[in-house]
A and B are shown apart, each in its own frame.
Chain A
């Protein structure tokens, strides 16, 4: 079944290359990765260089994004904070993907009571607004980057479980799966080699969109003082620290927020382009519209 996976990847890449919005999103993501990896070297000043003589200076050639209430260079902090967002996105979505896909695979493949129990557990997690549950988990485990990543991973697990289960239900009745059962392949092997590659498309789309939401959630947690702790820079935390000065120093509110917005927008643009090519329902809608026209 690997051939199917290859053609899915190829189709996705071709679609991304042809869609100008997706290319724009991709370029922003590449810049984000560069900032995340090399932010400390690219930063024009140290992120924790306090200078009381330079407090709350507006943007200038020396400090393109201005300085904060402690005289620190905002551009340097915005650049270095990209690493936190990337890290949170990758780790929290990684947790959600691993847990959600495993649960969804077992629920959809074995069905019966296991499916019922697992999916009702997912329904319970779905009953909480995302940010509220994340806040509750962080409140209990203590604020910090690691707990924020775990909390975001937990709240996004049910969506991956549901997407996976739905995919498994449609794939498990296919002839190639029944053939694999007939050859005596173990359940785990069938799930790994035959089911999983065939439900990769919706999972790829969900991963891309979840990365955007995970970054937004971390920014919200940090804005509430429950995510990254000072002095480490994070975009949400910078907004939280700067909100008291916002009417006097607009740059403290503008630049970190703009960085979050551009990052989330980039992930959404790439996610939307992927969905257009990989999710048949979207194609049906546009085709239907064309037919109607």
Chain B
């Protein structure tokens, strides 16, 4: 297990280094001078020189990259071209909003997908199974922002049950937070639920065909015991991976939903940074999300290897 952990850590480290290179190169790809582009009409020579020097743009490219990685390791992702504030602080301020939305969406998705996926597999070929498959096909095909717009129209416009957009911090007003998170979380959660339903269904179907399940049935064990003890325990191991990957991708992939619902998370920050051409903030947000994505994947792999020893020897 130690060798497996070390190998995965090394792999993740190499990929993370590659991620920093891609994020660093983004700034180099900006046509023209990124600081001048960002300052636009607010250009003045003093601010321009200060920002260029602070971003290290007056140095040769390899030196810039080495310094970028070195500073990133100490948590310094530069300063915003717009506000002059440290990027790390700006991005971390937005993280709780994104985390609360992503976690709520995944919890909602699991509440829908787990019973749907398991029952659909246990009753394979039934009307229920067909309905679950239609739901899952619908979910993977529907644009989440369209569903969000329809949700706003129905629940905020027609019924007036939930606010159409906005954010209240969970720590300040839990009830206010719940009413604001409902529409975006359900929108994101339904799409995630459709992916999970499909996966849980096929995972349960695969385990149902295993010899040990047939043996358990042949022993005369009640169906409930066979399903809970033998089928679900084994079928849900790969599901852990998919749930975690979904959660990780939601941390950075809900830009559109955060923009639609004016949810002040990392996705909205990324969008605002793009609009303002605040490249250090854009780089910082992307780097943080990619690093989180890698971290979650690493943790899942380690957990997976712990749950299923066969993984370690592959």
Chain A residues near B30: list those with CB within 8 A.
140
Chain A residues near B289: list those with CB within 8 A.
128-129, 132
* Stretch among A98-106, A171-179, A212-220 lining the B interface: A212-220
* Stretch among A6-14, A40-48, A66-74, A116-124 lining the B interface: A116-124
Does B43 reach chain A (CB closer than 8 Å)? no
Chain B residues near A139: list those with CB within 8 A.
273-274, 277, 282
Kindly identify, within residues 24 to 54 of chain B, every residue whose CB is under 8 Å from any CB belonging to chain A.
26-27, 29-31
Does A23 reach chain B (CB closer than 8 Å)? no
Are A292 and B208 touching (Cβ within 8 A)? Answer: yes
Chain B residues near A124: list those with CB within 8 A.
15, 18-19, 21-22
Report the tally of A-B residue pairs with Cβ distances under 8 A.
150
Chain B residues near A131: list those with CB within 8 A.
253, 255-256
Are B18 and A292 touching (Cβ within 8 A)? Answer: no
From B164, B248, B289, name the one whose CB has the most chain A CB atoms within 10 angstroms: B289
Considering the complex, give the chain B residue whose CB is closest to the CB of A264: B141
For chain A, which range describes its interface: under 10, 10 to 19, 20 to 34, or 35 or more residues? 35 or more
A136 to B267, CA, bound (A): 12
Chain B residues near A292: list those with CB within 8 A.
208-209, 213-214
CB proximity of A246 to chain B, nearest CB, Å: 5
With an 8 Å Cβ cutoff, the count of chain B residues facing the other chain is: 57
Interface of A is mostly: helix
Does A261 reach chain B (CB closer than 8 Å)? yes
Q: Which of A135, A219, A261 contacts B274 (CB 8 A)?
A: A135
Q: Which of B141, B156, B255 contacts A132 (CB 8 A)?
A: B255
CB-CB contacts of B193-221 with A at 8 A, as 1s and 0s?
A: 00000000010011011000110000000
Chain A residues near B209: list those with CB within 8 A.
285, 288-289, 291-292
| Contact A247 B153, CB 8 Å, known A120-B14, A224-B256, A285-B205 | yes
CB proximity of A97 to chain B, nearest CB, Å: 21
Chain A residues near B9: list those with CB within 8 A.
none
Q: Which of A127, A216, A261, A268 contacts B19 (CB 8 A)?
A: A127
Does A141 reach chain B (CB closer than 8 Å)? yes
Does B142 reach chain A (CB closer than 8 Å)? yes
CB proximity of A290 to chain B, nearest CB, Å: 9
Chain A residues near B270: list those with CB within 8 A.
132, 135-136
CB proximity of B153 to chain A, nearest CB, Å: 6
Considering the complex, give the chain A residue whose CB is closest to the CB of B14: A120
CB proximity of B313 to chain A, nearest CB, Å: 19
Kindly identify, within residues 244 to 293 of chain A, every residue whose CB is under 8 Å from any CB belonging to chain B.
246-247, 250, 253-254, 257-258, 260-261, 264-265, 268-269, 272, 285, 288-289, 291-293
Considering the complex, give the chain B residue whose CB is closest to the CB of A123: B15
| Contact A246 B15, CB 8 Å, known A127-B293, A261-B143, A292-B208 | no
A285 to B208, CA, bound (A): 10
Does A226 reach chain B (CB closer than 8 Å)? yes
CB-CB contacts of B288-311 with A at 8 A, as 1s and 0s?
A: 011001100000000000000000
Considering the complex, give the chain B residue whose CB is closest to the CB of A143: B274
Does A142 reach chain B (CB closer than 8 Å)? yes
Kindly identify, within residues 132 to 179 of chain A, every residue whose CB is under 8 Å from any CB belonging to chain B.
132-133, 135-142
Are A288 and B205 touching (Cβ within 8 A)? Answer: yes
Does B150 reach chain A (CB closer than 8 Å)? yes
CB proximity of A268 to chain B, nearest CB, Å: 5
Does B146 reach chain A (CB closer than 8 Å)? yes
Does B157 reach chain A (CB closer than 8 Å)? yes
Does B149 reach chain A (CB closer than 8 Å)? yes
Does B124 reach chain A (CB closer than 8 Å)? yes
Does B249 reach chain A (CB closer than 8 Å)? yes
Does B263 reach chain A (CB closer than 8 Å)? no
Are A289 and B205 touching (Cβ within 8 A)? Answer: yes
Can you report 21 A-B residue pairs in the complex whose CB atoms are below 8 A from each other? A120-B14, A120-B15, A127-B290, A127-B293, A129-B251, A129-B290, A131-B255, A132-B289, A136-B26, A136-B270, A139-B282, A212-B141, A224-B274, A226-B274, A236-B145, A246-B149, A261-B141, A265-B138, A265-B141, A285-B206, A292-B208
The 5 lowest CB-CB distance pairs between A and B, nearest first, are A257-B146, A288-B209, A124-B18, A247-B157, A265-B141
